[in-house]
Amino acid sequence: MNIIFRRLSMEKLHLRTRQEVEALLGSLSIPFNTIEHPEIKTVKEGLEVCAGVSGAFVKNLYIKDKKDNYYLLSALHSTETPYKILGKLLGVGASGVRAGPPEKMQEQLLVVPGAVNPFSLANDHGNAVKFLVDKNILSVESLLLHPMINTATTKIATADFLKFLTHIGREYKVLDFTEEKEEEKKKEEVAEEVNILGISVPKESNLSDWYSEVITKGGMIEYYDVSGCYILRPWAYMIWEEIQKKFDGDIKKLGVRNSYFPMFVSEKALSTEKNHIEGFAPEVAWVTKSGNTDLEKPIAIRPTSETIMYPAFSKWIRSHRDLPLKLNQWCNVVRWEFKHPTPFLRTREFLWQEGHTAFATYEEAAVEVRQILDLYASVYEDLLAVPVIKGQKSELEKFAGGFYTTTIESFIPTNGKAIQCATSHCLGQNFSNMFDIWFEDLKGKKQYVWQNSWGLTTRSIGVMVMWHGDDKGLVLPPRVAATQVIVVPIPNKKDLNQVMEKSREIVDELKKLGVRADIDERDNYHPGWKFNHWELMGVPLRLEFGPKDLQSKQVKLVTRYNKTVTVLPLTELSKIPEMLEDIQKEMFRNAKALIEKRVIKATTWDEFMKELNQKNLILTPWCQQNSCEETVKKRSAEESKLEEGDHLTGAAKTLCMPFEQEPILPEEKCFHCGLAATRRVLWGRSY
Ligand code: 86X
């Protein structure tokens, strides 16, 4: 055989005809059997003429890839061999291969279209055409091949065909189409799921539908079968934990301690403070039964805990040495509202902290009111990157049971609605009088305590989503994101292990740098699917790492909020914490610039209504009269153009009198009633 091979290679063997093919097979002692038939042009016709012959009909494809490599593929007629999969198997990508030009084929293989066959490889002396073999071929007994012409078919044992290949000095590559197809199918199914998973409603076109999609598909909320109640999934709860961590630490520095009071309240305790309860009564949820038996007295579920905590305050406070008393609790409360519920923003049960403090003097209480308000502003601005406006509530909008209410207010740029973010009340001595909370001062005189209360709820998470989310899903500010950097390896077959290993190393290094980093190693999803998924989830930074990055020792970073792409050398991963901080600051800076543009000054009713309908907040000089405020509410509702699909109430109300404002000049008048202005007040339609 050695001798024959050498002779053939020296003489440059050519197989142009059936006779030459058969002669070669004969010289190699390979048994074969050729049948003649009319010219066949397609595999289908081939199958018909060979119907009676045992052996597998082979289809042959002449192919070229984008790098100008040429291939001959021999596959079982029943194997699906789409170019898309072929391209992937060859490592040139799904669109990397196509049919080779017929002229080139004739030149290289000396065979005409329609008669392509693997015997023709004998004519390609320089191995310009690489030979690809469908794995399925290797498991059949015998093959049916054209002996250079398509008016005949030769049956030859598969083992003998391989012997032929050895003889002509041919190597071949085995391709497994079936396995690749399965994987492809899986990925296509998943790709379809991306469409289902992706956000289908643009934020601008329907904010409330967009919001529902973002919070459910972004993994924050699961809907529940009690109206107004929602499941907070870990992706949302972890944000709450970040808020808790910061605020809890901050108030502990002020000497506040945590405690826990029961969630149930007797009717008697609840109605101790009449002013306080009056307007709220319809919202109180009651437990009236245990099993089938009516309770002797129904008990209420806390809507807030003044009436639960203050009887205890009364017992605990005796002398000035018991003051200040500063308690906080993290808990749930229930308010059975009948307005349209929205996850986070208006829910029947929600999580919050409620701080309740008691002081000997008004001055101490007043200082704390503002300290707490600053801490609230910091939660919103420094953690959630949501800009807020600090100020004092009008008499009509303040907590009725209290002395005065300070608040932080923000708004939702997309619909222009204002939203109350947190409140810090000075309760004065109203509650201490009702609940009998007093101490003996240094002169032995009975003094009622000065009290504050303050609360921040899970609404904050919803406001953050509304501000920063976009048409691709959530956008989480780095400081609250459960995952700050998601590493997506982009492996190819060749470098699979190296790419995965290095990706894991990158995650470890980031973790050491204090970054909350994670890797998406799932092998049943495309990198493209993963990109969409993590964009939906709002992860601030995506780190892509593939074979090219492996080579050039770098990573690709994509910033979620503005889609910026950065290439970073592997040696500079330590810059990522800074990058995250920059993202945080920039998200806030942008948001702040936006709200500043949307707070418009007005001095006349017409300007006021125009800006209101432009979805802006309006700052006006104001007389601070309840009656004036009531009229503005009514008039603005009547004159409002209600936009369809929006739940705008139409009416404008006061949000707060911002602490930061230009002084009122002596001649300034109320924008509405014309009386002397005393303060500037911020107005808006609100949630
Ligand atoms: C007002 C006042 C205050 C402690 C806070 O804003 C911060 C934390 N509480 C809460 N408020 C109620 O007093 C109230 C009472 C009843 Cl009975 C109700 F059903 C609903 C309520 N909503 C608010």
**Spatial separation of the C-alpha atoms in residues 188 and 528, rounded to whole Å:** 11
Q: Is the CB of 373 under 6 A from ligand 1?
A: no
From the CB of 310, is ligand 1 less than 6 Å away?
Answer: no
Could you give the CA distance from residue 324 to residue 313 in angstroms, rounded to a whole number? 11
CA 250/CA 393 separation, integer angstroms: 24
Does 174 map to a domain? yes
Look up tokens 């592997």; give the residue.
570
Q: Which two tokens stand for residue 446?
A: 């009975």
Contact 655, 420 (CB under 8 A): yes
Question: What is the 436 CA–ligand 1 centroid distance (Å)?
Answer: 20
Domain boundary among 530, 558, 593: 593
431 and 448: one domain?
yes
Q: Residue 5 has what pLDDT? A: 42
Question: Does residue 348 sit in the same domain as residue 491?
Answer: no
From CA 426, how far away is CA 369, in angstroms rounded? 6
Are residues 459 and 514 part of one domain? no
- Residue 505: CB atoms within 10 A of its CB come to 14
- Say what the pLDDT of residue 45 is: 82
> 440 with 318: CB under 8 angstroms?
yes
> CA-CA distances (angstroms) from residue 677 to 405, 595, 655?
21, 25, 17
Domain assignment present for residue 459? The answer is: yes
Which CATH number belongs to the domain containing residue 255 in this structure?
A: 3.30.930.10
Lowest mean pLDDT among 98-107, 183-192, 234-243, 515-524: 183-192
Q: Please say whether the beta carbons of 398 and 657 come within 8 A.
A: no
Distance CA 407, CA 554 (A): 47
Q: Quick check: 46 pLDDT over 90? A: no
Digit-coded pLDDT (tens) for 375-419:
999 999 999 999 999 999 999 999 999 999 999 999 999 999 999
Question: What's the pLDDT score for residue 579?
Answer: 98
List the beta strands (DSSP E) in 18-164. Answer: 32-36, 56-65, 70-76, 97-99, 129-134, 142-145, 152-157
> Is there a domain that residue 192 lies in?
no
The whole-number pLDDT of residue 274 equals 75
**Which residue has 């609404």 as its token pair?**
459
User: Domain boundary at 543, 561, 593, which?
Assistant: 593
- Site to substitute for ligand 1 among 264, 280, 339, most atoms within 8 A of C-beta: 280
- Is the same domain home to 22 and 83? yes
Query: How many H-runs (helices) and E-runs (strands) does the chain carry?
Result: 21, 31
Ligand 1 centroid to 302 CA: how many Å? Answer: 9
Question: Which atom of ligand 1 approaches the CA of 336 most closely?
Answer: 19
Is residue 222 in a domain?
no
Backbone angles phi, psi at 38, to 5 degrees: -60, 160
Ligand 1 pocket member 399 (CB < 6 A):
yes
Element (DSSP H or E) covering residue 328: strand 325-334
Tell me: cis bond preceding 324? Omega within 30 of 0 counts: yes
The residues with which 457 forms a beta bridge, in sequence order, are: 352
Encoded tokens for 193: 């799921």
User: Taking residues 552-572, what's their average pLDDT?
Assistant: 98
Predicted local distance difference test score (pLDDT) of residue 196: 63
Q: How far is the CA of 277 from the centre of ligand 1 (A)?
A: 8
Ligand 1 near 277 CB (within 6 A): yes
Question: How many structural domains does the chain have?
Answer: 4
CA 487, chain centre distance (Å): 15
Determine whether the shortest distance from the Cβ of 393 to ligand 1 is under 6 A. Answer: no
CA of 278 to the centre of ligand 1 (A): 11
**Which residues neighbour 508 within 8 Å (Cβ) at sequence distance 6 or greater?**
none
**Higher-confidence residue: 401 or 273?**
401
Of 555, 564, 466, residue with least CA distance to 517: 555
Quote the tokens at residue 169: 């000095």
Confidence grade of residue 47 (pLDDT, cut at 50, 70, 90): confident
CA 79 to chain centre: 40
SS3 466: helix
pLDDT over 80 (residue 192): no
**Which residue, judged by its Cα, is nearest atom 18 of ligand 1?**
280
Instruction: State the closest ligand 1 atom to the C-alpha of 423, by its place in the atom list counted from 1.
Output: 6
Residues contacting 388, CB < 8 A, separation 6+: 376, 377, 380, 381, 408, 409, 410, 421
- Which residue matches tokens 């996850």? 343
Q: Can you list the alpha helix ranges (DSSP code H) found in 296-361? A: 306-316
How large is the average pLDDT for residues 633-652? Answer: 72
Cα of 250 vs centre of ligand 1, distance in Å, is 23
Q: Residue 122 pLDDT more than 80?
A: yes
Q: For residue 469, how far is its CA from the centre of ligand 1 (angstroms)? A: 30
**Using a 6 Å cutoff on CB, does residue 276 contact ligand 1?**
yes
* Residue located nearest, by CA, to atom 16 of ligand 1: 280
**638: pLDDT strictly greater than 90:** no
| pLDDT band per the 50, 70, 90 thresholds, residue 548 | very high
Of all atoms in ligand 1, which is nearest to the CA of residue 354? 8
Is residue 350 in contact with ligand 1, taking CB distance under 6 Å? no
Decide: 602 and 636 in contact? Cβ < 8 Å.
no
- Pull the structure tokens for residue 353: 């902290």
Q: Which of 91-105, 334-348, 370-384, 402-416 has the lowest mean pLDDT?
A: 91-105
pLDDT at 146 exceeding the cut of 70: yes
For residue 347, name the pLDDT band (cuts at 50, 70, 90).
very high
Q: Which residues pair with 669 in a beta bridge?
A: 676
Pocket test for ligand 1, best of 267, 304, 331 (most atoms within 8 A of CB): 304
Is 646 a residue whose pLDDT tops 70? no
Query: Can you tell me which residue has the tokens 């009676």?
Result: 52
Residue 678: CATH number of its domain: 3.30.110.30
Angle (deg, nearest 10), helices 459-468 and 234-253: 120
Q: What is the pLDDT of residues 293-303, one digit of tens each?
A: 999 999 999 99
Atom of ligand 1 nearest to the CA of 454: 7
pTM: 0.76
Residues 549 and 463 in one domain: no
> Burial level of 84, CB count in 10 A (0-12/13-18/19+)?
middle
Cβ of residue 352 lying under 6 Å from some atom of ligand 1: no
For ligand 1, is residue 402 a contact (CB within 6 Å)? no
Q: Are 636 and 629 in contact (CB under 8 A)?
A: no
Q: Give percent above pLDDT 90 in the chain.
A: 86
Q: Residue 150 pLDDT > 60, yes or no?
A: yes
Question: Considering the domain boundaries, does residue 60 fall inside one?
Answer: yes
Q: How far, in Å, from the CA of 333 to the mean position of ligand 1?
A: 10
**Nearest alpha carbon, ligand 1 atom 9:** 304
What pLDDT is recorded for position 6? Answer: 40
Give the pLDDT mean for 66-73: 94
Which CATH number belongs to the domain containing residue 567 in this structure? Answer: 3.40.50.800
pLDDT, tens digit (0-9, with 9 covering 90-100), for 433-484: 999 999 999 899 999 999 999 999 999 999 999 999 999 999 999 999 999 9
With 0-12 CB in 10 A as exposed, 13-18 as middle and 19+ as buried, what is 191? middle
Average pLDDT on 365-372 reads: 98
Do 542 and 621 share a domain, yes or no?
Answer: no
Domain boundary among 153, 179, 205: 179
- Which residue type is seen at 443? K
Residues 65 and 161 in one domain: yes
User: Are 659 and 580 part of one and the same domain?
Assistant: no
Ligand 1 centroid distance, CA of 77 (Å): 76
Could you tell me the distance, in angstroms and rounded to a whole number, from the CA of residue 354 to the centre of ligand 1? 10
Q: What is the mean pLDDT of residues 536-545?
A: 98
| 197-209: pLDDT as tens digits | 799 999 999 999 9
Residue 89 lies in a domain: yes
Q: What is the CATH number of the domain that holds 103?
A: 3.90.960.10
Question: In ligand 1, which atom is closest to the CA atom of 304?
Answer: 9
In a domain, 265, yes or no: no
Residue (of 539, 556, 558) closest to 548 by Cα position:
556
For the chain, give the percent of residues with pLDDT over 70.
96
Model confidence at 524, pLDDT cuts 50, 70, 90, reads: very high
* 386 lies in the same domain as 255: yes
CA of 579 to the centre of ligand 1 (A): 41
Q: How far is the CA of 599 from the centre of ligand 1 (A)?
A: 29
Distance 18 CA to ligand 1 centre (A): 96
Please give the residue range of the domain that contains residue 164: 2-179
Residue of higher predicted confidence among 45 and 116: 116
Closest of 588, 604, 612 to residue 416, by C-alpha: 612
- Whether ligand 1 lies within 6 angstroms of the CB of 407 is answered as no
Residue 11, pLDDT above cutoff 70: no
**Does 5 or 599 have the greater pLDDT score?**
599
Q: Please tell me the predicted confidence (pLDDT) of residue 52.
A: 77
Helix (H) or strand (E) holding 422: strand 417-428
Atom 11 in ligand 1: which residue has the minimum CA distance? 304
With a 6 A CB cut-off, is 423 part of the ligand 1 pocket? yes
Query: 459-468 vs 207-217: helix axis angle to the nearest 10?
Result: 110
**Do residues 417 and 535 both lie within one domain?**
no
Same domain, 317 and 390: yes
Task: Identify whether residues 384 and 452 lie together within a single domain.
Answer: yes
List helix spans (H) across 599-679.
Answer: 605-613, 626-638
Question: Residue 223 falls within a domain, yes or no?
Answer: no
Distance CA 639, CA 642 (A): 9
